[in-house]
Structure 1
Amino acid sequence: MSPLDNELIDRTVCTETRTALGANYVRILGYFREDGTQSVGKIESAMRAHDAVAMVDASHSLKGEALQFGALRLSATAETIEMTARACVEHHDTPDEVIELVAALRPMFEETLAFLEKGASPLVQERHPQGMSRLLG
């Protein structure tokens, strides 16, 4: 089974994470957006450079962060990239066999974020006259 065949989001995990984080969900999701964007960029750069070593850490980080939000497809794809890159490092090979997964990674990450951010929509940002803001849940 290809990691691309996985369900996009495990809704149970996603709901549990949102509940556990409460008002912090939006902030933590923002960190995931920033870190995930960097990880995806590093994986893409490593692919262009045929650098399996550089691919390992970035895909490992993305895998773990995605899993915390229940992002099954993204996590499984990152894990496949990571494991393949690790094998390539051991065999002194290039990670060319994951090029299709790497190409699918950014759109998948964006689709995942769109879903997670849509789930955050009940948390509305209210602006106060003094320029301060607070989250309403």
Structure 2
Amino acid sequence: MAVATSGGSLIDWNMLAAARIELGANFVRILGYFREDGEKSVAAIEAAMRAGDAAALVIPAHTLKGESAQFGAEQLSAAAEAIELIARDCVENRDGPEQALEHVVGLRALFQETLTLLERETSPLMERRPAFGKRAAGDLR
């Protein structure tokens, strides 16, 4: 079950399920950290891009890449990785990070869309589809 977008799936649901099992009771708490850290990383990436500071892109992009991958957020992780690689190359070559602009521009929206999917799928209040021919608990229809 993957949500398709123009560039593929946003979430690898098998990776997310594996993370849920591995993290157990800590899953919801760590997802909350991902929300907080992700917001900080996206803001730091945007600020570094505005400042034209390639070196300042590296750490928040690296952090976002790893945390996204942990939850199976494929596109977000790939976008963060692209920013990180471009930034590292720019630091090495003493260039500005203009090449990363196309990735940075859509990063906040991609983060928000991904987070919305993750939170909806992991919420204990999420409406679950009942099995064929059965009603969900509490379904009064």
Q: 2:40 aligns to what?
A: 38
Q: 2:22 aligns to what?
A: 20
Unpaired stretches in structure 2, ≥5 consecutive residues: 1-5, 127-141
CA contact (8 A) 1:56 1:82 kept: yes
Aligned amino acid, residue 39 of structure 1: S
How far apart are residue 122 of structure 1 and its match?
2.1
TM-score by length of 1: 0.84
Q: 2:83 aligns to what?
A: 81
TM-score by length of 2: 0.81
Task: Name the SS for the 1:112 alignment partner.
Answer: helix
Q: 2:68 aligns to what?
A: 66
- Distance, in Å, in 2 between the alignment partners of 1:6 and 1:57 is 26
Which portions of structure 1, spanning 4 or more consecutive aligned residues, are displaced by more than 3 angstroms?
none
Q: Which moved more, 1:41-50 or 1:96-105?
A: 96-105
Higher Cα Rg, which structure: 2
Q: Which moved more, 1:34-43 or 1:21-30?
A: 21-30
Please list the CA deviations of residues 81-121 of structure 1 after superposition, one character each: whole Å capped at 9, or x if unmatched.
00000000011101101112101000100111111101111
In the TM superposition, what are the counterparts of 1:73-112 in structure 2 within 5 Å?
Answer: 73-112=75-114
**RMSD, matched Cα:** 1.5
Q: How many pairs align? A: 121
Higher RCO (C-alpha 8 Å, min separation 6):
1
Percent identical: 55
